């Protein structure tokens, strides 16, 4: 039970939600049958937390219902929980409500829980509650109160806990601190907590907190115009968020990166990210963010002098802003739209919009955006021949642009003024303005060039970072990504079905092949409870040892089985892959095993293969690790990898000098859970080759073995040269 729960918690921390879920589900079944109400209670709360994180990441309310159902089960138990458990239940409830933005209900629960925690001097719970409360207030926009609560949590932590021994609690507090400090624009302190958090979260393998830390560091770097570093942090946060299916943070990263790219005049990369958000995550955006994106995209197209493309974006921004009664946003959208209309030659519409915008800018005393509108109005007057008014408006526009440090509007103002005075026949003035225009636009181009250069540097840095991240996450690639990328509810539902399918598989196997370890757990647990009661003597301790061993083994089997049932079901893209490169990656993964066994691996020049990268890695890795594992005790493994190719198939051979396999077993070894040795002789679960076979089938190929006992084995697999149509 403990091992399962520990396992589930560990996966939960890494936000491998599917794995966490499976372990907790099994724990719950077990607890319902054999365990104490306390076990059921704890497990239900864990399951509720897993589902609520799932709901939050996937932005799918369905999962909140599941979470709530588990809390109901916990509550309905025929068991009077200690205050600590009561607090946990309330806390979980509040978090679920908080994520659903039911702020009042959530704070009621939190206050109640806080009172119980304080009365019973449950300091750890108190701190966690304060953190949740601070988070709730932060999301509700009450930054001052959020800051107070965060400070209170930090003070309590410092007073009652030793940092070294309570890092995960510290991480909770620091995450909240760093985030609220960013909201309050106290970047100096945000950086301090962000850095601390980054190192603890990595140490604890806590992926969500790591993402939080990366985002904080990225935002702080961006506000200090340290774009290169900011982009590296965003990139890392993006990859990690995508990996765990955390959609909100994926969207945040994409938008932030797009904004920085736009700032660096790299319009293509900026647009690519905005479009990704609009295409894949639109339903997750609130109207305010959507308006901001439409305005930004429109601005990019306007700067690219593509007013026809820009037009509909500003129009959409305007419609949404009006629908939501957001007057400043609507005025800004009108100003932009008008500017685009001017460029398109729709003078009447442009004038109408610009006048409306000007009116509300004046009424609201807004300055941001007014420079654009004034200059646009100036241009309209100029075109209509009203030169005095044009000059006056252009001067006002120039002043507003200066106040706002808007270089490009200033340049536009100088240019417009030069044109106006030229038409007026005031050549000396026109000349002065023109000189100023030339001087400024030269400086501006230089700055633009500098930024573009910086953009190039960033590209390089990101490529490096990407490689680094890939290397780090490769290990995790196969470990069940329920929420990998999916965003639409439909996809989530499909995955839910898939998950159920997998769980069914588990149920099947749990009742057949896994009976033996399960029975072991059951009987030893019974022996302890019945015979020994609460006195734990040496025997009891030994039995406990068996129990843990059984549970661990069951976990291995379940993990392996999970791998088997999900293999090839990801939507990984197929591509032409260099087999030699794949072998190199596998060698890195197996470094320790290779070094310990003294294995010699020789590899011929191998052809390219059309496959999914992780599938191919998994296939090669299973074959190579078997070739090393089933070695003769006295001679180091010699392994040779070669390949041949005809029009239809690439055939790869992995030859070893190990113990070999008797003829009658050659087929059996590809069947799931079939092994030829006891675990004490050779570690394993008997699932590796079954996975290999599935992979080969999935790729339209096959796998077989030739072997002679005592002489070694040669495993062959052949894959079609031409990609499968599927
Ligand atoms: P596991 O390695 O976990 O036992 P596999 O499915 O990878 O599971 O292998 C099934 C069985 O096939 C192994 O237990 C072993 O008896 C046999 N086998 C696999 N590869 C080799 C090899 N290279 N040499 C000898 N026997 C092998």
pLDDT tens per residue, range 256-298: 999 999 988 889 999 999 999 999 998 888 898 999 999 999 9
Q: What is the pLDDT of residue 676?
A: 79
Q: DSSP class of residue 480?
A: -
**Contact 676/665 with Cβ under 8 angstroms?**
yes
Q: What integer best gives the mean pLDDT of the chain? A: 85
Residue pLDDT, tens place only, 148-179: 999 999 999 999 999 989 999 999 999 999 99
Residue with the two structure tokens 């070739």: 627
State whether the beta carbon of 661 lies less than 6 angstroms from ligand 1. yes
State whether the beta carbon of 658 lies less than 6 angstroms from ligand 1. yes
Average pLDDT over residues 452-465: 77
Strand pairing class (712-720; 649-655):
antiparallel
Residue pLDDT, tens place only, 209-220: 999 999 999 999
* Strand extents, DSSP E, 495-548: none
Phi and psi (nearest 5°) for 547?
A: -60, -50
State whether the beta carbon of 8 lies less than 6 angstroms from ligand 1. no
State whether the beta carbon of 688 lies less than 6 angstroms from ligand 1. yes
* 3-state class (DSSP) for residue 177: helix
Ligand 1 centroid to Cα of residue 719, in Å, is 21
Ligand 1 centroid to Cα of residue 626, in Å, is 6
State whether the beta carbon of 4 lies less than 6 angstroms from ligand 1. no
Average pLDDT over residues 515-536: 61
Q: What is the pLDDT of residue 525?
A: 61
Atom of ligand 1 nearest to the CA of 670: 6
Average pLDDT over residues 325-351: 93
* 3-state class (DSSP) for residue 123: helix
Within 184-246, residue ranges assigned H as helices are 187-204, 207-223, 227-243
- C-alpha span between 297 and 259 (Å, rounded): 10
Ligand 1 centroid to Cα of residue 398, in Å, is 77
Return the ∠ at Cα 495 (arms to 493 and 501), rounded to 5°: 110
State whether the beta carbon of 656 lies less than 6 angstroms from ligand 1. yes
State whether the beta carbon of 512 lies less than 6 angstroms from ligand 1. no
User: b vs e for 28-52, b when ≥16 Cβ sit within 10 Å of the residue's Cβ?
Assistant: bebbeeebebebbbbbbbbbbbbbb
Q: Whose CA is nearest to atom 8 of ligand 1?
A: 686
* Residue to mutate, 626, 673, 688, ligand 1, most ligand atoms under 8 Å from C-beta: 626
Ligand 1 centroid to Cα of residue 669, in Å, is 7
Within 224-281, residue ranges assigned H as helices are 227-243, 247-263, 267-280
State whether the beta carbon of 557 lies less than 6 angstroms from ligand 1. no
pLDDT at 483 over 60: no
Name the least confident of 80-84, 94-98, 475-479: 475-479
DSSP 62-121: HHHHHHHHHHHHHHTSSS---HHHHHHHHHHHHHHHHHTT-HHHHHHHHHHHHHHHHHTT
Helix (H) or strand (E) holding 499: helix 489-511
Using 50, 70 and 90 to split pLDDT, how confident is the model at 563?
A: low
- C-alpha span between 361 and 371 (Å, rounded): 10
Atom of ligand 1 nearest to the CA of 712: 24
* Residue to mutate, 619, 625, 659, 675, ligand 1, most ligand atoms under 8 Å from C-beta: 675
* 3-state class (DSSP) for residue 709: coil
Name the least confident of 307-316, 405-414, 549-558: 549-558
- C-alpha span between 631 and 386 (Å, rounded): 92
Ligand 1 centroid to Cα of residue 706, in Å, is 13
- C-alpha span between 152 and 154 (Å, rounded): 5
Ligand 1 centroid to Cα of residue 560, in Å, is 14
State whether the beta carbon of 107 lies less than 6 angstroms from ligand 1. no
Ligand 1 centroid to Cα of residue 698, in Å, is 21
């Amino acid at each position: 039970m403990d091992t399962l729960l520990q396992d589930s918690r560990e996966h939960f921390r890494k936000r491998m939600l599917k794995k966490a879920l499976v372990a907790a589900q099994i724990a719950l079944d077990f607890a319902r049958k054999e365990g104490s109400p306390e076990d059921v209670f704890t497990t239900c709360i864990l399951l509720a937390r897993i589902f609520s994180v799932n709901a939050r990441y996937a932005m799918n309310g369905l999962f909140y219902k599941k979470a709530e159902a588990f809390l109901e089960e916990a509550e309905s138990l025929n068991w009077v929980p200690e205050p600590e458990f009561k607090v946990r239940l309330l806390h979980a409830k509040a978090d679920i409500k908080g994520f659903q933005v039911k702020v009042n209900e959530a704070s009621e629960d939190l206050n109640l829980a806080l009172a119980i925690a304080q009365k019973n001097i449950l300091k750890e719970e108190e701190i966690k509650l304060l953190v949740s409360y601070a988070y709730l207030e932060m999301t509700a926009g009450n930054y001052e109160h959020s800051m107070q609560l965060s400070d209170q949590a930090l003070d309590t932590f410092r007073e009652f806990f030793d940092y070294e021994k309570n890092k995960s609690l510290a991480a909770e507090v620091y995450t909240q601190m760093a985030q609220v400090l960013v909201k309050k624009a106290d970047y100096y302190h945000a950086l301090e907590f962000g850095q601390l958090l980054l190192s603890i979260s990595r140490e604890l393998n806590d992926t969500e907190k790591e993402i939080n830390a990366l985002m904080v560091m990225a935002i702080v770097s961006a506000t200090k115009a340290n774009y290169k570093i900011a982009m590296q942090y965003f990139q890392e946060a993006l990859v990690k968020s995508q990996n765990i299916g955390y959609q909100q943070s994926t969207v945040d990263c994409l938008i932030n990166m797009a904004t920085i790219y736009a700032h660096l005049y790299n319009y293509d990369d900026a647009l690519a990210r905005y479009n990704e958000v609009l295409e894949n995550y639109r339903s997750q955006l609130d109207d305010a963010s959507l308006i901001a994106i439409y305005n930004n995209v429109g601005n990019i197209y306007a700067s690219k002098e593509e007013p026809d493309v820009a037009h509909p974006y500003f129009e959409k921004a305007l419609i949404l802003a009006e629908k939501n009664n957001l007057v400043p946003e609507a005025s800004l959208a009108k100003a932009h739209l008008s500017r685009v209309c001017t460029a398109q030659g729709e003078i009447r519409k442009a004038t109408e919009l610009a006048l409306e915008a000007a009116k509300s800018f004046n009424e609201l005393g807004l300055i941001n955006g007014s420079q654009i509108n004034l200059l646009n109005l100036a241009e309209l007057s100029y075109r209509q021949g009203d030169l005095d008014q044009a000059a006056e408006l252009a001067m006002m526009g120039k002043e507003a642009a200066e106040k706002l440090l808007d270089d490009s509007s200033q340049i536009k103002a100088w240019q417009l003024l030069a044109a106006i005075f030229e038409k007026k026949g005031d050549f000396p003035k026109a000349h002065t303005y023109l000189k100023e225009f030339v001087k400024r636009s030269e400086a501006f181009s230089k700055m633009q060039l500098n930024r573009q250069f910086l953009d190039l540097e960033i590209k390089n840095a990101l490529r490096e970072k990407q490689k680094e991240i890939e290397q780090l996450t490769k290990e995790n690639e196969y470990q069940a990504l329920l929420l990998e990328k999916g965003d639409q509810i439909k996809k989530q539902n499909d995955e839910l079905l898939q998950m159920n399918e997998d769980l069914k598989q588990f149920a099947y196997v749990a009742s057949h092949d896994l009976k033996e370890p399960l029975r072991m757990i059951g009987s030893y647990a019974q022996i302890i409870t019945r015979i020994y009661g609460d006195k734990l003597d040496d025997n009891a301790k030994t039995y406990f040892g068996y129990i843990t061993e059984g549970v661990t083994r069951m976990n291995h089997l379940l993990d392996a089985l999970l791998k088997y049932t999900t293999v090839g079901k990801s939507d990984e893209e197929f591509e032409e892959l260099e087999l030699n490169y794949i072998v190199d990656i596998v060698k890195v993964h197996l470094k320790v095993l290779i070094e310990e066994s003294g294995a010699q691996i020789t590899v011929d020049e191998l052809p390219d293969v059309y496959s999914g990268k992780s599938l191919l890695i998994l296939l090669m890795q299973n074959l190579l690790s078997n070739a090393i594992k089933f070695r003769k005790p006295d001679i180091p493994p010699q392994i040779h990898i070669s390949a041949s190719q005809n029009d239809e198939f690439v055939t790869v051979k992995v030859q070893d000098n190990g113990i070999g396999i008797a003829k009658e077993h050659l087929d059996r070894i590809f069947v799931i859970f079939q092994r030829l040795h006891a675990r004490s002789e050779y570690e394993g679960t008997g699932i590796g080759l079954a996975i290999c076979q599935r992979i080969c089938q999935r790729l339209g190929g096959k796998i077989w073995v030739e072997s002679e006992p005592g002489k070694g084995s040669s495993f062959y697999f052949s894959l079609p040269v031409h990609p499968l149509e599927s």
